[in-house]
Structure 1
Amino acid sequence: MTYEMTYERNEVIPGLVLNRAASTGVLLRLMRPEAKAAWLWLCRRAELPAAVVDAFVSHPDWRMRASFAQSEVAPAADRARLVDDADRRVLLELAHGPTPFRAVTEPLPDAVYTRLLTTADPEVRRTAAMSPSIPARVLAGHTGHHDPGVRTGVCRAWDALTPADREALLGDPDAAVRAAAARHACRTDPAHTDGVLAAMTPVHRREILAGACLPRATAERLMDLDDPYDRQTLAGNPSLPPDLVARLAVDPEHDVRRAVSARPELTEEQRAAVDHSVRRSDALRPLGWVLALDGDSDALRACAASAHRWLRRNAAVHPALPADLVERLAEDEDFVVRLMICEKQPDAPAGALLRTVLEWDGRSVHDMLRLPQFPGKGLARYADHEEPRLRRLAVEDPDTAPEVIERLTRDEAVWVRRAAASDPRLTRERIEELLRDPDTARPAASNPRLAEADMHRLLDAVAVPA
């Protein structure tokens, strides 16, 4: 294949990163300063060769190393190698860790967190102490840390602390540590609740309204809050007395009544008696009490069988949902329940995945198409469908004829053309044509039909040195 200098650098370079056939040599070349458009994409590539990981850790540009420290897909053991980095900006990124969308990050090794918590740089220490991925067991070992910023972070591990450590933090000489300790202590000890509420801003007090153990007098006073969002939050508080729950069940605000209807102690009859509704478009917060249930518990099964859509939606995202409940909720009457099964359950039934992809066009569809059980066979029938998003599905069928794939690369809809451009059933000549089109250059560069020599020539064409 021959190339002309007509390619969009910022399209071809990320496309090569995404190419499953890209060799170690190609990936290493993409780490050159002239290929900065690839750096963020490289950090998002899973299962990097060892030589590429080595190059990340020793890269001369701190931004490349910092990006790797924030990688959502790199193994924690690989990211941990940056603990010896000389640039505090890299250490700050490592200490904070990645924050993937709707996913949990693999924590760094305990010894690495200990080094970060005990480093001489106070900002790195405090960032590590507040990391969303640091395990509670690590924080619990630093209740006597000399840095009050770290001790404030240690309070997040409240349930893992000994009674003596909790008392020490509640009586800490630093006011910020005492306040953080009280915010956690008030979940089980009402003696701290009023003081915490008095110190909180209206925006931040909702966390306390949701989970604090409320004295009777405090609960009665909060019933008269003017802000309906505050009352809605209060309606889910597990310590709220039954008579006050009953008052909120007839609140003039619908969302307050709906929050009452999802309380764990209610029977199905009591839930149905609360005037509320759950619509398809309602973006409802997770119910912590449902997600905390044991996967084999009768309570989780009751949620999955409940007439209350909000409970079934939460059961659908439970990380330990039994297989029979996955099958059951995959056929639920509520679209959002079915969607949550397809988004959150790795063993979602193939039929449910196909039905969801056919009737919905959200951001998670791409992930569903990548699941090994997704039923691609037969999707060639959509190649001439009037809807572009369905024509695009024909590319997922292993039996779609090469000439149909080639025709889809000329589709009027750009998303269809891009989907087809990465298909290895295309001829190398057609791939070359697609590489010259700014709309399809990126997916064409990710086409595994490209040989290694082709990829290097592409890099030559966009002036990335060997």
Structure 2
Amino acid sequence: MAERYGAYALAGNPAAPADVLLRLLALNDRSITHRLSYHPALTGEVAEAMLIHPERWVRHLLAESFTAAPELRARLLDGPASDAMSVAMGPHPYRIRVEPLPDHAYERLLDHERGNVRYETVGAPSTPDHILVPLAGHADPYFRRAASRRVWHLLGADARSALLADADSDVRTSASLQVMDVDEERTEELVRTLAGDWRLGEVVERGRLGRALAERLVAEEVLLARLALNPTLPAGLAAGLADHENPAVRLAVSARPELSEDERAAIDWRIDPEDRLPGLWWVWNARHDPETLRRCATSAHTWLRRSAASCPGLPQDCVELLAGDADFAVRLLLAEGHPQAPAELLLDLYLHGTHRAVAMLTSRPGFPEAGLAPRFADATDPRARTLALRDPAATPELVERLSRDPDARVRRAAARDPRLPAPRLLELLADPDTVSGAAANPVLPPAEMAALLDREGVPH
């Protein structure tokens, strides 16, 4: 594939005609076909060719494509039986919502002769709620377990009661996990039945604790770092853990909801900038409570501020406050999770952040565009100069100037820009350093696309 950078780029060009894409498909090159499966306009002849392709891996790439229409993916069920598994699993793009299959496709998948196809269907993130709700009464306990886990909030009282009293112990456990935060008896039962199970940590952290159970868990030192996070752990028992030798336990105690700022400060806790911490459940549960979020956003405790920054309902005054937070993770979580994250925050993190997630911030709706050309066209940082091309007001003259930039990344970005004058685009198409950018440019003439494939040895 190394000698076919242009072909790989053409596979993602939104203006590439069907004859060009079909030539690429006929290569049977896995990297190029994978790029082709996410083409912005995967329809018509190309989609049909993938649908009936003799190679199973090509059809499976179509099943995993989030740009392919759900109706198209569903038609794979009319082909070889082995394709059903890929249809059931479906696409799993990062932070992109996938449209569900038609209902008739789920009927076929849930009735499939292979059990793993049925089970992947009920576990797939894109399977809609209205398909899962009726499964609460299904004969297969795996289906009932999936319904209790994923759509408990939509089930009626009778369905919930039936699941909590189910003959299958795994179903009962799954249902009990949904009510343990309000049911002391269920929590106690789960602690007993899940001893040694990985789910015990979730129970001691989120289940409603009776006094006797709480005392026993503390005395036996059962997962103290998670137990100390449980808001229903009596405050006196939690206070007794404030000077525990384990720093993770002290940190958990310091993040409890009932503590004042002075009480938190009195505990020896530490959070390093690179520490990865899950959001605090009690903060997330209060995500619609402006006052609780405001208290967390103004706290001196880093964990509370990080948890508040992850809540889309954070009040605007707190958004502005946390946008200037000294903790990088607070700013990044705010940029990733809040719909009104300031444009300058997104820009600053992109230019100066070192975490790999900052590269994706340019896809956030609030990332700035207007005014970037005069700000960054002459910047010393190549990544900043590339941003100038995002400006709708950038002139063809500026795009051409940046296409001659000393940094190849800037030249490639300019090569993709539709405002680039045609003669310069063809020059970049002939340059090995920039062919991948030029081949992706939607204004590239189809004749030049075909000629590029000829040069790279792609058969007709």
Assess, with a 3 A threshold, how the Cα gap between structure 1 residues 187 and 43 changes in structure 2: closer, same or farther.
farther
Q: Could you tell me which residue of structure 1 aligns to residue 438 of structure 2?
A: 444
**1:406 maps to which of 378, 403, 406:** 403
Cα pair 1:117 1:150 within 8 Å, conserved? no
Assess, with a 3 A threshold, how the Cα gap between structure 1 residues 345 and 59 changes in structure 2: closer, same or farther.
farther
**2:217 maps to which of 211, 222, 227:** 222
Does residue 152 of structure 2 align to residue 155 of structure 1? no
Q: Could you tell me which residue of structure 2 aligns to residue 4 of structure 1?
A: none
Assess, with a 3 A threshold, how the Cα gap between structure 1 residues 286 and 430 changes in structure 2: closer, same or farther.
same
Does residue 95 of structure 2 align to residue 96 of structure 1? no
1:232 & 1:360 partners in 2: Cα distance? Answer: 30
**1:286 maps to which of 279, 285, 310:** 279
Cα pair 1:434 1:444 within 8 Å, conserved? yes
Cα pair 1:116 1:124 within 8 Å, conserved? yes
Cα pair 1:83 1:112 within 8 Å, conserved? no
Q: Could you tell me which residue of structure 1 aligns to residue 200 of structure 2?
A: 205
| Per-residue Cα deviation, 1:325-363 (whole angstroms, up to 9, x for no partner) | 444433334333322233333443322222222222443
Q: Could you tell me which residue of structure 1 aligns to residue 361 of structure 2?
A: 368
2:195 & 2:128 partners in 1: Cα distance? Answer: 27
1:107 & 1:340 partners in 2: Cα distance? Answer: 28
Q: Which amino acid aligns with 1:121?
A: R
**1:305 maps to which of 290, 295, 298:** 298
1:319 & 1:233 partners in 2: Cα distance? Answer: 25
**2:24 maps to which of 18, 30, 38:** 30
Cα pair 1:13 1:35 within 8 Å, conserved? no
1:379 & 1:435 partners in 2: Cα distance? Answer: 24
Shift of 1:384: 6.2
| Per-residue Cα deviation, 1:201-250 (whole angstroms, up to 9, x for no partner) | 354422222222334333223225668xx322222223322222222333
Q: Which amino acid aligns with 1:101?
A: Y
Alignment of 1:55-66 (within 5 A): 55-66=49-60
Cα pair 1:34 1:464 within 8 Å, conserved? no
Does residue 65 of structure 2 align to residue 71 of structure 1? yes
| Per-residue Cα deviation, 1:366-399 (whole angstroms, up to 9, x for no partner) | 4333446514635566566554444544544525
Q: Which amino acid aligns with 1:223?
A: V
Does residue 121 of structure 2 align to residue 124 of structure 1? no
* More divergent stretch after superposition (359-368 vs 106-115): 106-115
Assess, with a 3 A threshold, how the Cα gap between structure 1 residues 421 and 171 changes in structure 2: closer, same or farther.
same
Cα pair 2:71 2:102 within 8 Å, conserved? no
Does residue 348 of structure 2 align to residue 355 of structure 1? yes
Q: Which amino acid aligns with 2:360?
A: D
How many residue pairs end up in the alignment?
454
* More divergent stretch after superposition (446-455 vs 266-275): 266-275
Q: Could you tell me which residue of structure 2 aligns to residue 233 of structure 1?
A: 226
1:74 & 1:219 partners in 2: Cα distance? Answer: 52
Q: Which amino acid aligns with 2:28?
A: E
Q: Which amino acid aligns with 1:299?
A: T
- Structure 2 spans left out of the alignment, 5+ residues: none
Cα pair 1:92 1:127 within 8 Å, conserved? yes
RMSD over aligned CA atoms reads: 3.5
**1:169 maps to which of 158, 163, 166:** 163
Assess, with a 3 A threshold, how the Cα gap between structure 1 residues 108 and 207 changes in structure 2: closer, same or farther.
farther
Shift of 1:261: 2.9
Q: Could you tell me which residue of structure 2 aligns to residue 318 of structure 1?
A: 311
1:264 & 1:223 partners in 2: Cα distance? Answer: 19
2:443 & 2:276 partners in 1: Cα distance? Answer: 42
Cα pair 1:186 1:193 within 8 Å, conserved? yes
Cα pair 2:428 2:435 within 8 Å, conserved? yes
Assess, with a 3 A threshold, how the Cα gap between structure 1 residues 378 and 103 changes in structure 2: closer, same or farther.
closer
1:263 & 1:100 partners in 2: Cα distance? Answer: 35
Assess, with a 3 A threshold, how the Cα gap between structure 1 residues 111 and 224 changes in structure 2: closer, same or farther.
farther
Higher relative contact order (CA 8 A, sep 6+): 1
SS in 2 for 1:264: coil
2:184 & 2:143 partners in 1: Cα distance? Answer: 26
Identity of aligned residues (%): 39
Assess, with a 3 A threshold, how the Cα gap between structure 1 residues 308 and 43 changes in structure 2: closer, same or farther.
farther
2:322 & 2:401 partners in 1: Cα distance? Answer: 36
Q: Could you tell me which residue of structure 2 aligns to residue 12 of structure 1?
A: 6
Q: Could you tell me which residue of structure 2 aligns to residue 422 of structure 1?
A: 416
Q: Could you tell me which residue of structure 2 aligns to residue 134 of structure 1?
A: 127
Shift of 1:15: 0.8
Cα pair 2:42 2:67 within 8 Å, conserved? no
Q: Could you tell me which residue of structure 2 aligns to residue 3 of structure 1?
A: none
Q: Report the TM-score, using the length of structure 1 for normalisation.
A: 0.81
Q: Which amino acid aligns with 2:402?
A: I
| Per-residue Cα deviation, 1:234-287 (whole angstroms, up to 9, x for no partner) | 222233222222223332223322223333344444444433244432221123
Shift of 1:10: 4.8
Q: Could you tell me which residue of structure 2 aligns to residue 343 of structure 1?
A: 336
Shift of 1:149: 2.3
Cα pair 1:351 1:375 within 8 Å, conserved? no
Q: Report the TM-score, using the length of structure 2 for normalisation.
A: 0.82
2:420 & 2:247 partners in 1: Cα distance? Answer: 55
2:298 & 2:333 partners in 1: Cα distance? Answer: 15
Assess, with a 3 A threshold, how the Cα gap between structure 1 residues 295 and 59 changes in structure 2: closer, same or farther.
farther
2:433 & 2:71 partners in 1: Cα distance? Answer: 35
Assess, with a 3 A threshold, how the Cα gap between structure 1 residues 165 and 36 changes in structure 2: closer, same or farther.
same
1:427 & 1:341 partners in 2: Cα distance? Answer: 39
Does residue 320 of structure 2 align to residue 330 of structure 1? no
Q: Which amino acid aligns with 2:77?
A: D
Q: Which amino acid aligns with 2:209?
A: L
**1:456 maps to which of 439, 450, 455:** 450
